[in-house]
């Protein structure tokens, strides 16, 4: 088995930081036009030595194994980085120990980079006053969008 595939297999055997971050400060979702796969990344920031740095990053992938392996590596690499430092990271740097991606898999790394940049674009400049207001996947399902008035069915029936 070639070296790259065995590293991907190792990463998939114990993927890091998979799943929703309930108290995240930012979330980014992208889809790949090449293959239709999707990846979502959550970022949680903290203050350290007077700088605002990434405390935790997590992901959910609806796609290929390479994207999952890269996202696992990337979410580990991001810890302790400022938003500016994270934005500087290219897809090839986010692969970490996996090394360079084969040509057919480059877009898998770009999917991870895209989700990261999307999350960074939505990162507030200052800490959010109420972490519970951060967007989450489950929160998105529970919170009605816009001003929806909920009317009990009994009120709608003619008297
Ligand atoms: Fe679609 Fe890898 S094949 S992200």
Task: Evaluate if residue 13 carries a pLDDT over 80.
Answer: yes
* Residue 159 domain flag: no
pLDDT tens digit sequence for 137-156: 554 444 444 455 555 565 44
The C-alpha atoms of residue 152 and residue 115 are separated, in whole angstroms, by 40
Residue nearest to atom 4 of ligand 1 (CA): 108
How many distinct structural domains can be found in the chain?
A: 1
The reply to whether 64 belongs to the active site is no
**Confidence grade of residue 34 (pLDDT, cut at 50, 70, 90):** confident
Q: Which atom of ligand 1 is nearest to the CA of 105?
A: 2
Nearest residue to 72 via CA among 35, 90, 106, 98: 98
Answer whether 70's CB lies under 8 Å from 90's CB: no
**CATH, residue 122:** 3.90.1010.10
Structural domain that includes position 6: 2-151
pLDDT tens digit sequence for 82-92: 999 999 999 99
**Confidence grade of residue 131 (pLDDT, cut at 50, 70, 90):** low
- With the most atoms of ligand 1 within 8 angstroms of its CB, the residue from 30, 36, 37, 114 to mutate is 37
* Residue 157 domain flag: no
- Residue 146: what are its φ and ψ, rounded to 5°? 75, -165
pTM higher than 0.95, yes or no? no
The C-alpha atoms of residue 80 and residue 43 are separated, in whole angstroms, by 11
Q: Which atom of ligand 1 is nearest to the CA of 66?
A: 2
According to DSSP, the residues that pair with 56 across neighbouring strands are 44
């Amino acid at each position: 088995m070639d070296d790259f595939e065995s590293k991907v297999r190792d990463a998939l055997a114990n993927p890091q930081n998979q799943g929703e971050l309930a108290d995240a400060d930012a979330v980014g979702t992208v889809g790949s036009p090449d293959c239709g796969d999707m990846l979502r990344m959550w970022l949680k920031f903290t203050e350290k030595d007077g700088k605002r740095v990434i405390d935790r990053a997590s992901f959910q992938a609806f796609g290929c194994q390479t994207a999952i392996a890269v996202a696992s590596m990337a979410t580990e690499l991001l810890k302790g980085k400022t938003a500016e430092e994270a934005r500087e990271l290219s897809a090839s740097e986010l692969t970490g120990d996996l090394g360079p991606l084969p040509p057919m898999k480059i877009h898998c790394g770009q999917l991870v980079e895209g989700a990261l940049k999307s999350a960074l674009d939505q990162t507030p400049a200052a800490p959010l006053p109420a972490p519970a207001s951060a967007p989450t996947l489950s929160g998105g399902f529970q919170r009605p969008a816009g001003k929806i008035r909920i009317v009990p069915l009994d009120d709608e029936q003619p008297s």
